[in-house]
Amino acid sequence: MAQYNFTAPLFFMINYFKITLLLFVLSSCVKDKPQDVIQPQVQLTTAKKVYVINEGNFGSGNSSVSLFDSGNDAVIENFYQSQNTSSPIIGDVAQSLSKINDKFYLVVNNSGKIIVCDNQFKKINQITNLSSPRYVLPITNQKAYVSDYNANAINVIDLNTNTKTSSIPCSGWTEKMVLIYNKALVTNMKRDYCYVINTITDSKTDSISVGINNGSIEIDKNDKIWVLSGGDNTNSILGKLSRINPLTNQIEQSFQFSNNDSPNSLCLNKTKDTLYFLNGGIYKMPITSNALPVTEFISNGTKNFYGLGVNPNDYTIYAADALDYIQKSTIYIFGANGAQKKYFNAGINANGFYFE
């Protein structure tokens, strides 16, 4: 009994310490838990939605998709997670989002996969056997092309079986693509050329010299192709904006940027007669212009614009401020006149948008 009486206080002290430590750990977990993991209940409207693709941090697996309801300005910062509570993790680096045949295709670059979701954004399938996918271009209702960072090829995807069926050799880092006249024009970040692929035979047929670091591409209202090349400041190679005739694959007009410019993220407005792109700030250029714009349409000020989109429904301009690449991004919405209308928070490193 003496021994029991002697050790009893020690027993309670040890357990008290354990309980205290457990409470401390639990409180620490709650404190450090990301505030956006559990989303508040949001009442969505029938208005068109805007999906924000958030890369997250490379190697961290913290990518996300945010949803903005233009009808009531409601935001769900982790929309994919809210719709897929049993398997909420997207993977490493969400790169792009497309909608084909009423299904969403979420490309996850460093995880080498494409998540297929239904119309409610619930995961229904997954496309694997990919290296570093970037963007999806639907060719038919059954077939799509997927560009790739290091596969030196365009992947051909069967949309019925959600499998990779073949590949088209294309040296370099292939990026954004457009479809016109049974041709897919494919940009390339590591080559001077934009590739032309025959979508009937799935074969590369031509290369158009547009300059190094060409990554964004658009089709205007006259069916002309615009390709933006960022250049290479390290090697004193200037960026270019090229207009291509897709019937002849010839460059009809080319504009050269100045030293230290780094243009990217080419977009078109609703009527496809005005170009927008990032070069620090946001620049605006009619497709009929004979020169590049010399002044910013919207100044970035202290903002770190990382993604750009122009809503095809109402002409509004969406710009993603990545801040320090660690904090959540801030999305700014500007009117067609360049005036800021509103802003909201999204995920880390928001790089682009999908507009319904």
The amino acid sitting at 250 is: Q
Three-state DSSP at 291 gives: coil
pLDDT the model gives residue 194: 98
Q: What's the pLDDT tens digit per position in 322-339? A: 999 999 999 999 999 999
Q: What's the pLDDT tens digit per position in 30-75? A: 333 333 433 456 789 999 999 999 999 999 999 999 999 999 999 9
Compute the average pLDDT of residues 87-108. 97
Task: Confirm if 346 and 54 have CB atoms less than 8 A apart.
Answer: yes
pLDDT the model gives residue 87: 93
Q: What's the pLDDT tens digit per position in 3-40? A: 333 333 333 333 433 334 333 333 333 333 333 433 45
Domain ranges of the chain: 49-355
Q: What's the pLDDT tens digit per position in 266-283? A: 999 999 999 999 999 999
pLDDT the model gives residue 40: 52
**Strand pairing category for 264-268 and 274-279:** antiparallel
pLDDT the model gives residue 195: 98
Question: Is 355 exposed, middle or buried, given 0-12, 13-18 or 19+ CB atoms closer than 10 A?
Answer: middle
Lowest mean pLDDT among 31-45, 309-323, 338-352: 31-45
Lowest mean pLDDT among 19-23, 77-81, 132-136, 309-313: 19-23
- Share above pLDDT 70 across residues of the chain, in percent, rounded to a whole number: 88
pLDDT the model gives residue 277: 98
Return the DSSP state at 298.
B
Question: Is 100 exposed, middle or buried, given 0-12, 13-18 or 19+ CB atoms closer than 10 A?
Answer: middle
Task: Confirm if 215 and 224 have CB atoms less than 8 A apart.
Answer: no
Q: Which stretches of the chain are DSSP H helices?
A: 2-32, 79-83
CATH of 49-355, one of 3.30.230.10, 2.130.10.10, 3.30.360.10, 1.10.3720.10: 2.130.10.10
**Is residue 124 scored above 70 in pLDDT?**
yes
Give the Cα separation of 268 and 281 in Å (integer). 16
